[in-house]
C-alpha cells in the first residue's frame, strides 16, 4: 500500500466523524507483524491479474489483531464507462450471504425462539410430508419414496437437509428459485420438490439457507430484511449491505465480467434476469445480498472478536464458537472429494478448515471462511489473528486464481509467529 494512500486515508478518518463506523482503526503492517514490502507484492499480483484480463478490478482488505493494515482498490468498476474501481464499490455476495443469514438465525437462537434440532415442519408445515427422490443422480418427480427422519434447523444451517442447489436440473425445470417470486413461494416450491436424500446423511450445498430466511420471519414476526437490518447490519455499521442497489449505491455497483476465450477480452455478463439495481420480489438469504469489502471486513472482525465490534455485541462468544466448528456428522464427511472441500467441514454458516494439507493456499488452525460465485471471498483465521476480504466481479469466479494467490502472498508477508 502506498504511503500517500495511507496518509490520505488517515486524514479522511480524522475528518469523517460518525461515518468512521465503516472503518477499522488503521495501523502500519509492521506494527502487527506483517511486511509492507510483502503486501506490496500482493498488490502487484492483483494488478497482474487485471492486466491479464482475469478480472476487471478488485477491492481487497487485510486486518490483523483488529487493525486495518491493507486496503486497496485496483482496476475498473465498469470498463465500458471507464469508471475506476472505488474503495466503496458494491459487489454481489452470492454465497457469502449465507454467513450473514446464519448470524440472524443464531441471534434468534440465543433468544430461545427455537432449538437447533427442532424439525422445521414445526414452523413450516409444508415440509411435513416431503418425500425423497429414488435416484438423486437422475431425479424424477414420479419416482419417490417416503422420507426417513425430519429436516431440522441444524440440517439447514449445515447443508445436510437433502434440499438441492438452485442450479440443479430438476430445480430449474420446476422453477423452484426465481428472483421474481416471493420468499414464501420459493419455500413452497422447495417443499413441493422431493429431497435428494434423507436429512442428515449427506452434505449437499444448496438453497437451505434461503429456507432459514423464511424461518427468521416466522420466529421474529418481522420481514426477513427488516430483522436483518435491525439486528445484524445496523449494529455493525454495514450501511452498504443491501438486497438491491438504488440511488448512489447503483453508481457503485460493480459490473460482472466474463472472459471471451476466443478474443481473450472481458465482456459484461448478466448472471440474473432481475438486475441487482431493482428491488427483487425474492428476498433471498442464500445468495441475495450486496456488500462492500469494508462492510464485510467489519462483519468478519466481529466474529474474530468473539461476537463483538466497537463495543456492540451481536452474538455471545459461546455462540460464535458453536457456529465456527464442524457440525457435519462423521458419516457425511468429507463434504467433497477434491481440493479444499475434501479438507473441510461445515459449521453453522461457514466452511470450516479440518485438514489444511488439502488446501492449495495457506489457512490457519481453526480458520473458517467462504466465497461467492462472482469472485468474492472472506477468511477468518483465529490462529494468526487475520481477516482477509477480497472482492471482484467475475463469472466464473476463479479469475485466474487471484484470490488464492492474494491469500498466499498475504501469509508470505507474516513476519512473526502466532
More confident residue, 158 or 262: 158
Calculate the average pLDDT of the chain. 94
Q: From CA 178, how far away is CA 185, in angstroms rounded?
A: 10
**pTM > 0.85: yes or no:** yes
- Residue 40 confidence (pLDDT): 98
Within this chain, do residues 136 and 217 fall inside the same structural domain, yes or no? yes
Task: Report which of 360, 379, 324, 393 is spatially closest to residue 62, judged by C-alpha positions.
Answer: 379
pLDDT tens digits for 1-26? 443 444 344 434 333 333 344 679 99
| Tens digits of residue pLDDT in 45-97 | 999 999 999 999 999 999 999 999 999 999 999 999 999 999 999 999 999 99
* In a shared domain, residues 110 and 130: yes
Assigned C-alpha cell, 77: 468498476
Residue 269 in any domain: the answer is yes
Task: Say whether both 54 and 74 belong to one domain.
Answer: yes
Residues 73 and 139 in one domain: no
How do residues 180-212 score in pLDDT, each as one tens digit? 999 999 999 999 999 999 999 999 999 999 999
Task: Domain of residue 383: give its range.
Answer: 3-87+237-412
pLDDT at residue 301 greater than cutoff 80: yes
286 falls within a domain: yes
Q: Are residues 77 and 106 in the same domain?
A: no
User: Last residue of some domain: 166, 196, 225?
Assistant: 225
Q: pLDDT per residue over 322-344, tens digit each?
A: 999 999 999 999 999 999 999 99
Examine the domain organization and report whether 271 and 380 are in the same domain.
yes
Q: Give the chain's domain count.
A: 2
Of 191, 225, 259, which closes a domain?
225
How far from 305 is each of 66, 234, 299, 311, 312, CA to CA, in Å? 8, 18, 10, 11, 11
Write out pLDDT tens, residues 376-411: 999 999 999 999 999 999 999 999 999 999 999 999
Shared domain for 156 and 47, answered yes or no, is no
Model confidence band, residue 372 (pLDDT cutoffs 50, 70, 90): very high
Q: What is the pLDDT of residue 146?
A: 97
In percent, the amount of the chain with pLDDT more than 90 equals: 92
Q: Are residues 246 and 182 in the same domain?
A: no
Segment 108-126, tens digit of pLDDT: 999 999 999 999 999 999 9
**CATH code assigned at 287:** 3.40.710.10
Residue 67 lies in a domain: yes
**In 10 A of CB 411, how many CB atoms?**
19
Predicted local confidence at residue 22, as pLDDT: 62
Residue 23 pLDDT: 79
Question: Among the three residues 201, 225, 249, which one is the final residue of a domain in this structure?
Answer: 225
pLDDT band at 418 (very low <50, low <70, confident <90, very high): low
Cell of 147: 422420507
CA quadruple 119, 124, 125, 129: dihedral sign: negative
Amino acid at each position: 500500500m502506498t504511503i500517500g494512500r495511507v496518509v490520505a486515508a488517515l486524514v479522511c478518518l480524522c475528518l469523517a466523524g460518525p461515518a468512521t463506523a465503516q472503518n477499522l482503526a488503521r495501523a502500519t503492517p509492521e506494527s502487527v507483524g506483517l511486511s509492507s514490502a510483502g503486501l506490496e507484492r500482493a498488490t502487484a499480483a492483483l494488478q497482474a491479474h487485471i492486466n491479464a484480463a482475469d478480472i476487471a478490478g478488485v477491492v481487497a482488505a487485510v486486518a490483523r489483531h483488529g487493525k486495518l493494515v491493507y486496503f486497496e482498490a485496483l482496476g475498473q468498476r465498469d470498463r465500458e464507462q471507464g469508471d475506476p474501481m472505488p474503495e466503496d464499490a458494491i459487489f454481489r455476495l452470492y454465497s457469502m450471504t449465507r454467513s450473514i443469514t446464519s448470524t440472524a438465525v443464531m441471534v434468534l437462537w440465543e433468544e430461545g425462539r427455537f432449538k437447533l434440532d427442532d424439525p422445521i415442519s414445526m414452523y413450516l408445515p409444508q415440509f411435513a410430508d416431503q418425500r425423497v427422490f429414488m435416484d438423486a443422480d437422475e431425479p424424477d418427480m414420479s419416482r419417490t419414496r417416503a422420507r426417513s427422519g425430519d429436516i431440522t434447523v441444524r440440517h439447514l444451517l449445515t447443508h445436510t437437509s437433502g434440499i438441492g442447489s438452485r442450479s440443479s436440473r430438476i430445480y430449474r425445470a420446476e422453477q423452484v428459485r426465481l428472483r421474481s417470486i416471493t420468499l414464501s413461494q420459493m419455500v413452497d416450491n422447495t417443499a413441493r420438490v422431493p429431497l435428494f436424500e434423507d436429512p442428515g446423511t449427506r452434505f449437499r450445498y444448496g438453497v437451505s439457507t434461503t429456507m432459514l430466511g423464511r424461518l427468521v420471519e416466522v420466529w421474529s414476526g418481522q420481514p426477513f430484511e427488516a430483522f436483518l437490518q435491525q439486528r445484524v447490519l445496523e449494529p455493525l455499521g454495514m450501511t452498504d449491505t443491501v438486497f438491491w442497489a438504488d440511488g448512489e449505491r447503483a453508481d457503485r455497483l460493480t459490473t460482472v465480467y466474463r472472459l471471451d476465450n476466443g478474443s481473450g477480452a472481458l465482456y459484461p455478463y448478466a448472471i440474473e434476469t432481475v438486475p441487482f439495481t431493482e428491488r427483487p420480489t425474492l428476498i433471498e438469504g442464500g445468495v441475495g445480498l450486496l456488500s462492500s469489502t469494508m462492510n464485510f471486513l467489519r462483519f468478519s472482525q466481529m466474529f474474530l472478536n468473539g461476537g463483538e465490534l466497537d463495543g456492540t455485541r451481536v452474538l455471545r462468544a459461546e455462540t460464535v464458537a458453536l457456529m465456527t466448528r464442524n457440525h457435519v456428522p462423521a458419516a457425511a464427511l468429507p463434504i467433497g472429494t477434491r481440493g479444499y472441500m475434501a479438507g473441510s467441514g461445515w459449521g453453522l454458516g461457514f466452511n470450516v478448515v479440518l485438514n489444511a494439507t488439502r488446501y492449495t493456499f495457506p489457512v490457519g488452525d481453526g480458520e473458517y471462511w467462504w466465497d461467492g460465485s462472482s469472485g468474492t471471498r472472506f477468511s477468518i483465521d483465529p490462529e494468526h489473528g487475520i481477516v482477509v476480504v477480497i472482492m471482484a466481479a467475475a463469472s466464473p469466479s476463479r479469475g485466474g486464481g487471484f484470490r488464492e494467490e492474494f491469500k498466499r502472498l498475504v501469509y508470505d508477508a507474516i513476519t512473526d509467529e502466532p
